[in-house]
Structure 1
């Protein structure tokens, strides 16, 4: 099978969209498929997993490159002659790719991954929220199927009148993120740094941006024996640091690879604060590491957190619940261990291999629905 992947985000930018695209490309290479990638110009590598990467014009917005309309997109897709076009978190670039695929008679699969309308609501844009949904509907209307990561996203898109929806979650690296990492010397050293007197470590991993609402951690101010460890960077770092001034916080910056795995393993609890997650990949990574999760009852976490089993869900509008659940687990080691084990079990079936194999199944269904022949990998 030949797959053209058009993504709004790619290396060197690191985020959920980039990570999932890279995992898909790794899987396609391992299974013998052919692929090419079209990305906004941002100094991306010229190839990934042996597949060519093509940059198109872009402008910078909030530290992200935004792909601009360019006739080069259709020329690249036409020259590659794919069986399917995969539009990752489509916006300007993805919308153009879906339209180009339609003109070329190629089916496309759109991956819904960013809550654009949620951004409009959070910024009190009023009528712009309705407009944002019209834009999302326009973008996705041309796709053979839109894959959504959670039941909350499915409900939102259905209510907005977007048709041809199917569920597709995200995988997690069950080897890299593992409870056994607690015994690694790097984890032990980090743990000593984060909790020099044996305190409970409450961790966060993710972008530090307005939609992540990291400032909500101020609700934990004054909890005895609790320290915060925050992994990530982004435009809201100054605001978050002001909000959490005077609290015992270690700012670890952006981490990856073995360092990130050690960070998860050093946490006693993982807390997510944002209410606009379409999925919640960091929650899965925490679960894989054997760490219980506390998150808002909103968006993707609703599907991932089994309340009272592998963690807790708090009222998205009330930080009292956030503080109460952290206080409860910080004083109950047995509950932390029990929920951590349950979290690990909850993601055992979500390896990237199994999730990407499911994605290829969606490709095949879209190709068949378009009346074309599915070409298997060699």
Structure 2
């Protein structure tokens, strides 16, 4: 099978969207499939990679969205259509489509190639968080236009599926996120690393891993400020770091980590906390669980599916997260239950490997391709459910 991936974000930017694309490409490589990636180019001070595992990467220009440094946007150009025509894919995969992905959806219709859209980013939630009311107002209508022009939408959690269906997006299926259970495991725990964070060796280590951006809600960990028995560790970098360093004066900020350093950091925590309410999945929670670390998250979005309260962690209401966090941490660290929570955290990811998730994805691909062979696809401009304004915005010719 030949797969064209149109990714709203990709290397050198590292985030949930680019990471999932990398795992898909690795699976396609192992199984002898063909692939191409169409993605935004690198920003200033970033180095582009021309290919990944031999799969070519076609770049489009990148612009910055005001106030949202963590959400670069690829500008659609003729290169999208030209690359797809030359590659002749069996299926087009839209990774978190919004701007560049919209061009991919349009091209798929024009070329009559079946298309799968993967919903990964809560654009409307981000826009609200960044006070971009105009973007928030039109986000769902635009997303509905993109996703309903595809044959299938894949969503990572039950909450996300319900939200998409409430906004009249059709044919939504569940596709979660895999985790590397070999890289992220309890055996990576490092006492030397823990001592570098707490030379006394007496404090419990509470940590966060992720981008330091407003939508991640890291400021809510301020509920742990002033605790002499805890050491807060923040792994990651981003535009909010200077502000967070002021809001979390007792925390250790170690910057962005990857590979074995990241695996050791996860496993060396006693409790993992993620406070952002806009996560469609939250891979960081799953990686912490694979590392045998109990987790605390918001009672919103993807974490609801990943955290089973009292079994591998706790969920907190977003509105009272700051006030409730100290009590939740103390509850998890209770010596009578802590060891069991650690065991349960690790056990909860046993059926969530990337190999299993990619095999499921290939099944969705085959289903969509077979259906397209039975029912000829229409051109985008002729699609009966596509608003005329949306067709024009995507460049379609309508009467």
Same fold (TM over 0.5): yes
| Residues 145 and 366 in structure 1, CA contact (< 8 A), matched pair in contact too | yes
Quote the residue 1:343 is aligned against.
345
Quote the residue 1:118 is aligned against.
125
Quote the residue 1:158 is aligned against.
165
| Residues 269 and 336 in structure 1, CA contact (< 8 A), matched pair in contact too | no
Deviation per CA, 1:291-320, whole angstroms, max 9, x where unpaired?
000111010000000001000001111022
1:128-277 map, 5 Å: 128-182=135-189, 187-197=190-200, 198-245=202-249, 247=250, 249-277=251-279
Quote the residue 2:331 is aligned against.
328
How far off its partner does 1:220 sit? 1.1
Q: Residue 58 in 1 paired to residue 65 in 2?
A: no
3-state SS in 1 of match to 2:278 = coil
| Residues 313 and 332 in structure 2, CA contact (< 8 A), matched pair in contact too | no
**Counterparts of 2:135 and 2:52 in 1: how far apart (Å)?**
37
Moved more, 49-58 or 291-300: 49-58
**Counterparts of 1:327 and 1:63 in 2: how far apart (Å)?**
33
Match of 1:317 among 316, 319, 334: 319
How far off its partner does 1:125 sit? 4.7
How far off its partner does 1:38 sit? 0.7
Quote the residue 1:376 is aligned against.
none
3-state SS in 1 of match to 2:351 = coil
**Counterparts of 2:71 and 2:215 in 1: how far apart (Å)?**
15
Deviation per CA, 1:306-346, whole angstroms, max 9, x where unpaired?
0010000011110222221012223x234222111101111
* RMSD of equivalent CA atoms: 1.5
3-state SS in 1 of match to 2:276 = coil
| Residues 8 and 39 in structure 2, CA contact (< 8 A), matched pair in contact too | yes
Deviation per CA, 1:222-250, whole angstroms, max 9, x where unpaired?
334111010000010111111112x2x11
Quote the residue 1:38 is aligned against.
38
Structure 2, unpaired ranges of 5+ = 376-399
TM-score (norm 2): 0.89
Structure 1, unpaired ranges of 5+ = 374-378
Match of 2:292 among 273, 290, 293: 290
- Segments of 4+ in structure 1 off by > 4 A? 124-128
TM-score (norm 1): 0.94
| Residues 223 and 327 in structure 1, CA contact (< 8 A), matched pair in contact too | no
**Counterparts of 2:211 and 2:72 in 1: how far apart (Å)?**
16
Deviation per CA, 1:246-290, whole angstroms, max 9, x where unpaired?
x2x111100000000000111000000111100010001000000
| Residues 188 and 266 in structure 1, CA contact (< 8 A), matched pair in contact too | yes
3-state SS in 2 of match to 1:333 = coil
**Counterparts of 2:140 and 2:304 in 1: how far apart (Å)?**
22
Moved more, 51-60 or 163-172: 51-60
Number of residue pairs matched? 366
Q: Residue 13 in 1 paired to residue 23 in 2?
A: no
